[in-house]
Structure formats: structure tokens, C-alpha cells
A and B are shown apart, each in its own frame.
Chain A
Amino acid sequence: MNKFRGFVIKEFFHIFRDVRTMIILFGMPVMQMLLFGYVITNEIKEAKIAILDHSRDHVTTELSRRIVASSYFQLAQVLDHDKEILDVFRKGDVKEVIVFEADFAEKLEKTGQAKVQILGDASEPNTAKILVNYTTGILMSYIQELNTQTELPLRIDPVTTMLYNPQMAGVYMFVPGTIAMLLMLICALMTSISITREKELGTMELLLVSPLKAFQIIVGKVLPYVFLGFINAVTILLLGNFVFGVPIQGSVILLLLESILFIIMSLSLGILISTLTNSQQIAMMVSMVALMLPTILLSGFIYPVENMPKILQYLCYIVPPKYFIIIVKNIMLKGTGMEYVWKETLIIIGFTMVFLLLSIRKFKIRLA
């Protein structure tokens, strides 16, 4: 036991001695949370638009003024000809062009109808759709005022409650995902690399001939990462709570226990990867391409799983972070207890077992 303790202490030194990695490890969650909290958003503000006004009368001027005055738009250019539209779009800054037909006010007065064309640059389909909707909204509210419509003779009023996220903050979605991603990164990736490193440098043989058992070597290697991962998870929770106001509705202890379970699962995955390869580069590529991208994309981190095609949804079943994200969302945001997450918990335990069994079968005491 004494020998084992010595080994663990050595491993801790090994990792914490490396200041650069430490800075990144602790800077990463902070950076990510800030990015997700402040930068990554789908709301659109001050999109650049161009207006092509064939009429230039009091109505179109008023409409243009209203559109530009809203916080969604910013007038970048006034066009004179239809021909210019394509050029403007190709330049790339302008996202929408609004075209008023000639004699707008006159037509509106006489025939009761005047046409507006809204052209969106749909090379960014989401943005285009949102912008077109905003513009239509502004036009509609103008026309409603114009008509000074009498109140509807009968009204059904929908009252909406936004459950779990009354302020509609985008960061709610990202806290669970960020935790999952970082734990995956630190535990699976770092572990696999640090074990393959010993193999690549040839120091693994030294460890294997030492009186320590193979099992102890592995445990000793992963312990510091458990510690690191745990600190990071706590950092994210604290940041989310104090900086962005994401509440922890459910039991904190349960949440931390689940995090530890997920950490253990990621570590066993990392160990499995390291038993499969001898080079750090391969270990890293496997972790990066086969782990990171699915963790970001197939786990419900950014894109909801329910919206994906059926085949992908089945694929999502084998992405472990998916279950962890569900657990964190349920406990943290919905405030549910074990009765809503036991299934996911069991699945993660199952994954851990499979990974460990596979690595034990694959683990070779003798190298090459």
C-alpha cells in the first residue's frame, strides 16, 4: 500500500508540475462558460440590410425608418437598381434586401394594396428565416395601426409559462453539455494519452516490472484525473450558478455523485482506448474524432436529439454523454430526484462495466 501511495503521489506531481497544462485545464471551463454565456446565441441583433425603394414616398420612408429603428436591423446600404442586389449579396455583409414597389403610397391609398418584397440571403437559412419574420412583423404592425382595427369581437388569450427557464436564457442548455464535454475530454482523452505516453517512451515496461500490480498502476494513473475532473465539474456548476444564474434545483449531493460516476465511466473509456493503441497520436485522434465530435453533436448538447432523423437517434443511444446530460438537466434544472434518472444511471454503470471488461481482456502485461 505504501508503494502504491508513492506511485500516486508521483503521478500527481507529474501532472501538476506542468503549469501550462494546468492553466489550460482550469482556464478551459471558465473560457467555455463565458463563450456559451455571452457569445453563442441564436438571437439576431443589428443584422445589416439594404433597402431598394422604388417609390420614396412618406409611407415607404416611414416603413424604412421603423425597420431600421428596430434593434434587429441596421441599414448598411441604400440601393437604386434591382441589378445591385446580387452584387450586394455576393459581397456577403448584407443579409436581407427590402424592395418597395413604385408608387407605394398611392397604390396603398387607391387600391388598398401595395407590395413589398423581402429577399433573404439564405446561404444562412436560419438567419434568413428569422430576419424575414422580423421584417414581416414590423410591416404587419404598421398596417394594423393604419387600419385602426376595432377590437376582435371574441378573444382567446393564450397564457404561456416557460417551465424551468422563465428568463429563456440560452446558457441553461449549455451548462450540462459543457460539464459532459470537459469531463469526457479530461478523463477519457487525458487518461488515454498519459498511458500511451508511457508505452511510447518505453517507461511502461519499467512500471510493469515494478512490484506494483497492473491494476494498481492503472488506478494510480487515473486518480489525479478523477480529482481534476471533479474540480472542473464543480467550477462549471459554480460559474453557472453565480455568474449566469443557472439554478441547481435538485440535490447537489446526487448531482456530484452522478458526476463522479460519469468521471469513472470516461476514465474506463480512456483506459480502453489506451489498451488499443501504442501511439499518443492515434490515441488522441481516436478520442478527438470518435469521442469529442459525438459528445458535442450527438448528445443533445447543442442540437436536441429529438429533432434528428430516426437512424441518428438510434446512434445517439450509444453516446454515453447523452445520458449524463439528461441526468444533469433533470437534477439541476428540473429538480427531480433519483426516480427520474435511475434508468440513465444504470445505463452509465453498464457502459462502465463494458469498457472495463473490454480493457481487462485487451490489457497486456507484456509489451510488443
Chain B
Amino acid sequence: MRTVLLIIQKEFIQVFRNRMMLPLIFVVPIIQLLIIVHAATFEVKDARICVVDHDLSTTSRKLVSTFEASPFFQVLGYSADYKEAEKLIRANKADLILSIQAGFEKQLLRERYGQVHLSINAINQQAAGVIQAYSMMIIRDYNRQLIVDWIGRSTPAQARMIPVEYAYWFNPELSYINFMVPGILVLLVTIIGLLLSAMNIVREKEIGTIEQINVTPIHKYQFIAGKLIPFWILALLELAFGLTLGKFLFDIPMVGSLWIIFMTAAEYLLVVLSYGLFLSTVTNTQQQAMFLAFFSMMIFLLMSGLFTPVESMPAWAQEFNRINPIAYFIRIMRMVLLKGSGVSDILKPFLSLGVMALTTLLLTVWRYRKTV
């Protein structure tokens, strides 16, 4: 026991001796949290329209002003020529072009049919979809208005209806921040934990101090425990710190029990840290270790559902998430914090994490060799 404590003490001294380490571990994540949470939004606002109106009739002007009246759109300006308007899109100054051909009003009066053209910058396909949907809605509403104005008749009477009531549970305002903060906390804890542990043993190898430890009578498991516990404590502190900030800065809901969060985090960190130490034992340079850590983290992270929903991934990716610790932890965080899920609801992912923790831990102890 004393041996383990001594190693722990040594690790703490080593981490804190470096004066840049402490701010890096605690201050930078906070800044990141503040930034990421506000940056990570798919919400589309202020779509910028360039209007090319060749008709210049009352009807076309009214249509444009309907767009103008919508809070979603912002009419950037008028252009006499479609080519000119397209240049604005190229230069990233406009998001869509609304073009109305000459004779629009006349055709509408005569044939009861007219066309308007929308050209949307679709490089960001998701935003383009939203812009399209909103434009269609505005045009449809305008269409209805025209029917009332010109023909004086609204939708046919006697129509049957299914009024739909919506309710968004657990997050009635659909706040994206409530969704992101738990995920970002997982991300930060993972980065800190994985990088610190992955570079740890290999650093001693590179500098040569590992041999000094190897010649002592320390047991393999004692060594791994001594390496693991300091980072484990640091990362848990970081999580506590992050949760506090989330509460005070963003007022994120904490419906469920914090005990469950910390129990899960403790288990999750065992997986992350022993995986990091494992990487550290199989590599020869810090560069290698860092690269492996970064590479695997990126794959696990992108597939975890942090940014995009897991449901929309192909079946094989969802299968892969069975061995993805980040996916489990993010899921549990969101379930407990936002929905107040209890122990029975999260038992399965919790146990899966436990199995993973045990496996990686054993693997690491087994792989660590005291011989060179």
C-alpha cells in the first residue's frame, strides 16, 4: 500500500511541478466549454437573400416583403442580373437567390399559375435544407393569402382536421446548450485523462527513468495503480468543476442523481486511463503514444453521438458503439442529467462500462513488462 501511495505522490509532484500544466488542465477546458457550447449549433439564422426581381409588380414586391418580414430571412439587396447575384453567393455574402421572372404577375392573373426560382448555396447541405423548408413555407403562406385576396375564399369548408399538439419533454425550449454541455464535459474529461495517461509511462521510457522503477521490488499492479489513481482524481475533480460551471454559467438541468454521474464517471475513467496507460506501454515514443491516443479518440468520439445522433448512423456503426466507452458515458450523462433516469434505467450501459474497465485494466497490467 505504501508503495502505491509513494508512486501517487511522485506523480502528483510531477504533474504540478510543471507550471503550465495546472492552467492547462483547469483553465483551458473552461474557456473551451464556454466557446464550444455557443459555437456548436446547427441552428440557422438570418439567411441572407439576394433578390432578382424582373417582374417588379405589386405581387412580386409583396412576396419579397413577406420574406423581409420573416425573422429568419434578411434581404441583403436587389440585383438586376442573376449573374451578379450568383457572384454574391460565390463570395459568401448571400445564402440564397430569390429570382422572379418578368411576367410573373400577368401569368398568375391569366393562368392562375406562376413560378419563382430559389437558388440556395448547398455546400452545407443541412443548412440548405432548412432554408429551403422555410422559403417553401413562406411562399405557401403567401399563396394562401393571395387566394384570399383575389378570390376571397379560404380553404374549403367542411374539411376534417387533426390538430397536433406537441410537447418537448425534458427540454421544452429545445435548448441546444442543455444537450451539448453534458457531452462537452465528457469530451474534456476524456481528452485530459487519455492524453495524460497515454504519454505518462512512455515518457519515463523515453527519458530513461523507467529503469529506475523497474529495478525496485514494486509489483506490476502497484505500479499501474500508482500511475492511474492521480489522473483518476484529477479527472474526477475536473468533472466536478465542469458540472459546477455548467450549473452556474448555463444553468443546465440536473434532474437525476449526481451520485450516479460520479459513479459512472469513476468507472468510465478507469477505462480511459487504463487504455491510455496501455497505449503508453506498447509505444516507444511520446509522439507515437499521442498519435495513437488522438487517432482512437477521434474515431470513438465521432461515432459516440456527441455531435450527430447515433440513430442516424448505419447499423454497423451502431454495433461498433457497443464497445465505445464514450458513447455509453455520453448517453448516461444525458439520461441522468436531463431526464433523471435512475439506476435501473442505466444499469445495462453501466455494467457494459464495468466489463470494459475490468478488461482494459487487466490488459494493461498484463502488458506492462518490467523487463526492457
Contacts and interface: CB of A to CB of B under 8 A. Distances in A.
Contact of A303 (B40, B128, B338): B40
Interface string A130-141: 001001100110
B287 A197 contact: yes
A129 B169 CA distance: 11
B108 A154 contact: yes
Contacts of A243: none
A41 B312 contact: yes
Given A39-B313, A159-B115, A288-B294, 8 more contacts: A39-B303, A90-B342, A122-B168, A154-B112, A156-B142, A156-B146, A165-B122, A307-B42
Given A90-B340, A118-B166, A159-B117, A41 B195 contact: no
| Interface bracket on B | 35 or more
A155 B317 CA distance: 44
Interface stretch (A166-174, A233-241, A348-356): A166-174
Contacts of B196: 281
A123 B339 contact: yes
A221 interface: no
Interface string A275-290: 0010111101110111
Nearest to A43: B312
B166 A163 contact: no
Closest A-B pairs by Cβ, 10 of them: A122-B168, A122-B171, A162-B122, A123-B338, A165-B122, A125-B174, A168-B125, A90-B341, A161-B119, A160-B118
Contacts of B286: 193, 197, 280-281, 284
A257 interface: no
Interface in B183-218: 191, 195-196, 199, 203, 206-207
B165 A116 contact: yes
A118 B172 CA distance: 13
A35 B302 contact: yes
Nearest to B147: A154
Contact of B40 (A158, A194, A288, A297): A297
A81 interface: no
Contacts of A95: 311
Contacts of B36: 293, 297
A132 B166 CA distance: 8
B10 to A, nearest CB: 16
Contacts of A302: 40, 307
B128 A307 contact: no
Given A155-B112, A158-B136, A168 B46 contact: no
Given A47-B311, A315-B35, A340-B90, A122 B161 contact: no
A172 B331 contact: no
A284 B290 contact: yes
B311 A125 contact: no
A70 interface: no
B153 interface: yes
Given A39-B302, A113-B163, A143-B162, A121 B170 contact: yes
Interface in A1-37: 18, 20-21, 24-25, 27-28, 31-32, 35-36
Nearest to A170: B125
Contact of A21 (B18, B167, B288): B288
Nearest to A87: B345
Nearest to B36: A297
Interface stretch (A144-152, A209-217, A258-266, A357-365): A144-152
Contact of A160 (B91, B120, B142, B191): B120
B249 interface: no
Nearest to A38: B314
Contacts of A147: 156, 159-160
Contacts of A47: 311
Interface residues of A, number: 116
Contacts of B294: 185, 288
A36 B299 CA distance: 10
B179 A125 contact: yes
B114 interface: yes
B127 interface: yes
B325 to A, nearest CB: 17
Interface of A: 18, 20-21, 24-25, 27-28, 31-32, 35-36, 38-48, 89-92, 95, 108, 112-129, 132, 135-136, 139-140, 142-143, 146-147, 149-150, 152-166, 168-170, 172-173, 185, 189-190, 193-194, 197, 200-201, 277, 279-282, 284-286, 288-290, 293-294, 297-298, 302-304, 306-309, 312, 315, 326, 329-330, 333-334, 336, 340
B323 interface: no
A151 to B, nearest CB: 10
B169 A121 contact: yes
B159 A160 contact: no
B38 interface: yes
Given A122-B169, A155-B143, A308 B195 contact: no
Contacts of B122: 162-166, 168, 172
B262 interface: no
A284 B147 contact: no
Contacts of A132: 166, 168
A90 B146 contact: no
Nearest to A108: B160
A112 B155 CA distance: 14
A158 B116 contact: yes
Contacts of B165: 115-118
Nearest to B40: A303
Contacts of A31: 295, 299
Contacts of A303: 39-42
Q: Which of A113, A147, A155 has the largest count of B CB atoms less than 10 A from its CB? A: A155
B19 to A, nearest CB: 10
